[in-house]
Structure 1
Amino acid sequence: MGRKATVSAMETTKLHIIETAENLFRQIGYAKTTVTDIAKTLGMSQANIYRYFPSKASINEAICDRLVHHIESQCWESLVRDGSSTDRLKRFILEYHRTVKDNIIKEKRLYDMVSVAMDEHWSVIQGHSDRIEDLMRIIIEQGISSGEFRAVNSSKMAKAVHESLAVFVYPSLLEHGINDEKNGNGQDSLEEELGQLLDLILHGLSSAST
């Protein structure tokens, strides 16, 4: 009983550290937030913070992991509704784009960290990419089984589709698109451009196109 209580207390403290750091990242940005700031806000010593996280980088990764899991849960909800594999893949990709876009607008300082995580190949980003591609692979395989999609290597196709979406889901690239959209430079909106890419992807997957 005592061990369970100790483990629970440690997990609670870790969560408080993560939540406090995340709030500071929102206020002043993750690059400017120090372990000293986190410790001071919590009324703890830096040494105590390091009992739970070996470095600031490990705190960054824990927060980044929370952010990408939030994105995934939003995308997952789009798959709950019924529909053809074409409908489900389209909904999934649109929700993926919208979730990242909305959070960049609302939480720019936090998503600056996601951009760095992608540039520096943090392990949490690789895990996120693998999970997104796995969900798309499942949808593609269901479409192949139903005869809606032509026979393809589902894993390679899911990876190719995911990589083709970079400008619509990669925070640093997407931010440029958001700024262009705000400035009204006469180009199609981001979602219109994504719709055109989706038409191309879905046409290429369709069994009717073979």
Structure 2
Amino acid sequence: MDTKPNENAPAKRRGRPRKAGTKGANPREHIIATAIKLFQERGYAKTSLSEIARQIGLDQSSLYYWFPSKEAILECIFNFDNLKHFVNYTKTIQASETVKLYSLIVSDVTKECELPFDFFELESLAHDNPERFVSLFECYREFYQAMVEVIEKGIQKGEFIECSADERAVTILSIIEGLQHHFHAKQRGELILESSGYQVRNHTPEDIGHMAALAVLPALAAKPIDIDAVKKDSRIIMQKLLIDNE
């Protein structure tokens, strides 16, 4: 999941809105950037449209001109095409199922940690407004199905132990979502683990992705794996995808 503004989002309304912030600023882009910042600091639920408007020097009626709701801002912030492209890409590459699964895990953890707020908030919002989050449901379904397929092929090839592929996929998703939740709670200063004596470390989203993959793969592998080699191959795959997208 990517926080790059969605170029295919609904076009802005006609008319002459008030300018936001500094002279010559693009109000729409300024609103999106400010919303992302506030979502990161406070979470989605605790951020109001009035606060977004206040931060950029607009009255709320002017903000409504560009975005009638917070959900409308989300439609511009979230672009699921990149993750969908990566899922499709893993289906075509020449690599072991172990490397593919490692890459899927790292990619998803990284993108969820890079969201401007906790994925659990987005999940709750999508549940309450399914018609506005069709792309999210499609992306989640495709990712889950890709993971099940990789695990099933890994079992067939003797790379993974005999197991229920769908249950393993759900377990992996739970690990991914739990780690991103801790990351966002830490960013907001709300990580309850700190009260337990946990020493908070400044891991990057990608670092956390590798941590998740390293926690999953050894338990799933049918035989000992060279995790350093898997990690190296995974990075080559992801780097190639970045180059292809430029």
TM-score bin, normalised by smaller chain: 0.5 to 0.7
Aligned counterparts, 1:22-101, within 5 A = 23=29, 25-29=31-35, 31-32=48-49, 36-37=61-62, 40-41=65-66, 56=69, 59=72, 62-63=75-76, 66-74=78-86, 76-77=88-89, 80-101=92-113
Q: Does 1:15 align with 2:10?
A: yes
Between the aligned partners of 2:213 and 2:118, the Cα distance in structure 1 is: 28
The letter of the residue matching 1:91 is S
TM-score scaled by length of structure 1:
0.59
CA distance in 1, matches of 2:9, 2:91: 32
Deviations 1:36-61 (A, max 9, x none): 445635xxxxxxx9xxxxx7366356
Contact 1:79 1:91 in 2 (8 A): no
On the 8 A contact 2:118/2:184 being kept in 1, the answer is no
Gaps of 5+ in 2: 1-7, 14-25, 36-46, 54-59, 190-198, 225-246
Is 1:205 aligned to residue 220 of structure 2? yes
SS of the residue corresponding to residue 79 of structure 2 reads helix
Following TM superposition, by how much is the alpha carbon of 1:96 offset from its aligned partner in structure 2, in angstroms?
Answer: 1.7
Q: CA deviation digits over 1:60-98, x for unaligned, max 9?
A: 56446x433444334544555321000111011112222
Aligned length: 171
Conserved? CA contact 2:144–2:169, under 8 Å = yes
Q: Which residue of 2 aligns with 1:152?
A: 163
Name the structure 2 match of 1:164.
Answer: 175
Contact 1:100 1:169 in 2 (8 A): yes
* Counterpart among 176, 189, 202 of residue 203 in structure 2: 189
Higher helix share: 1
- Mind listing any 5+ residue stretches in structure 1 that lack a counterpart? 1-12, 42-48, 50-54, 105-110
Write the letter of the residue equivalent to 2:65. K
Deviation at 1:16, TM superposition (A): 0.8
Query: What is the DSSP-based 3-state SS (H/G/I as helix, E as strand, rest coil) of the residue aligned with 1:16?
Result: coil
TM-score normalised by the chain length of structure 2: 0.52
Alignment of 1:92-131 (within 5 A): 92-101=104-113, 103-104=114-115, 111-112=116-117, 116-122=121-127, 123=130, 124=133, 125-131=136-142
Contact 1:71 1:100 in 2 (8 A): no
Flag the structure with more relative contact order, 1 or 2, with Cα contacts below 8 A and sequence separation at least 6: 2
- Whether 2:145 is the aligned partner of 1:134: answer yes
What's the CA shift for 1:188? 7.5
User: 1:137: Cα distance to partner?
Assistant: 0.8
